[in-house]
Structure formats: C-alpha cells, structure tokens
Structure 1
Amino acid sequence: MSLRYLGDAVLWLPKEKLVFTGDMVFNERMLGVLPEISKVKDWQATFKKMAELKPEHVIAGHGAPSDLAAAQKNTGDYLDWLVTEVGKSLEAMEDLGDAVKRLSADDKFNFLKLSKDLHGRNVHQTYLQLEAE
C-alpha cells in the first residue's frame, strides 16, 4: 500500500490493483468545476496518471466503487470533453455566452446525475480557466 501524489493524493494498493481516488473520480453523477478550486487541465492530467496505474478497482470519492472503464466514462471522458470542446470554442474566438449555450446543449453526458444542474456551469468555468491561460 502506498500513498501517491499524482497531482492529487491517491491511495494505491498494487497487489489488489485498487485505488482510492478521493474527489478525483465521480461515478454516477457529474463532477463540478468550482471557481478557484478546480483546475480542469490539472484534474485531467491527474486522472490520466491515475489511469496509468491500471487499477481493476476504483473507489471514487463520489459514487459507487467501479472499474477503471466506468471511472473513465464518468469522469475522464468528461474532463477530456470539457478541455477539448471548450478549447475549440476559444480557438474559434467564440463568445463566452455563445459557447456556454451551444456546449451546454450537448447531451453526451446527460446519463450522469446532476448534469442538468452542473453541465452549463462546468462549461462556463472551464472557458474562464482556459481563457486565462
């Protein structure tokens, strides 16, 4: 058993191929990008480092335990989507309001609980973060 710092601390049990991720992984519900707390690109990079451990069991900070595929679907893919799609909006010099309206309409992650409450806010916060870089 070891405590690893991958950008965020995780508890890794290599013999069991089990990782405790804390707030890095959200299963079943949409993650929230919080102003001045969540850094989307850092979160994305940290998730990728956790995935490199190739855990068979992921104990998420939010939601049920899962395998890596479910954690990827519920958290990793969404972080990738935010960085990629909001990044494209910025490259195209799309206005913040237009980007939020257009990208919030994408329902790819509507299977996650709280998506209706959080998705638009996440797009907005990600836009502000990426724009500030």
Structure 2
Amino acid sequence: MAGLDKNTPLPTEIKLHQASHILEVAFNDGSIFQLPYEFLRVYSPSAEVRGHGHGQETLQVGKQGVTITGIEPVGSYAVQPTFSDGHDSGIYSWDYLYEIGKNQQMLWERYLQRLADAGASRTPL
C-alpha cells in the first residue's frame, strides 16, 4: 500500500451517523463529505470489489440499506469499516476517501448506470 500523497488533506473529524447511514468526513482543507454507507460499500477499495486490475471490478448489487457496524483506524492513514453484510476487507485511505468524496456524484451516477446495464438492483434479494 503506497503511503499518503503529501498533498492529500487529512481528516479532522470522522462521524458515523447511524440513523441516516452517512459517514461524514471533514478534512483540514475545509472540505466536508457526507458519504452514504451504500456508496462506501459499493466503492470499497478491497480486491474483492475492485479486482486485481482495470476491468476486473465486481459489480456490487443489493447493497441498499447496508450499514456500518464498526470502524477501526488503520495506522494514521486509513480506516477499515465493517459492513452489516459482513464485508470488512476494504481499507479506506485518507486520499481514497477524499477522492471519492470529491467525485461522489459522478461515481454514484456511474454505479447506477452499471446496475441498469446489468439489469441488476440496489434492493437486497
């Protein structure tokens, strides 16, 4: 795992909002991102989700309503959430959280399009 980019803003606060299923991350550049648990789950940086190379991603389906049941720090560079579906292998570095926070709208639209193209659903079976 590469170290942090020296230009990456660092989080000043991380809050789990269990009622609204939002992970709120505030960074030291003033950015605040509200990341839905489902969004974090479908964009997990784990090999299980992302594969081992471009084009090997596994489309995550049925993740609507997923929750975060726990979250642990990983050194001083990341957090590792445990999701209610048992997924716990994604390590979310500060630069990854910042990147997906900045691009949240575009990434979410891309995910919804991939679901539609696959004839799949966000709704759990």
TM-score calculated relative to the size of structure 2: 0.31
| Structure in which a larger fraction of residues adopt helix | 1
| Structure in which a larger fraction of residues adopt strand | 2
Which structure carries more relative contact order (alpha carbon 8 Å, separation 6+)?
Answer: 1
**Structure whose CA Rg is larger:** 1
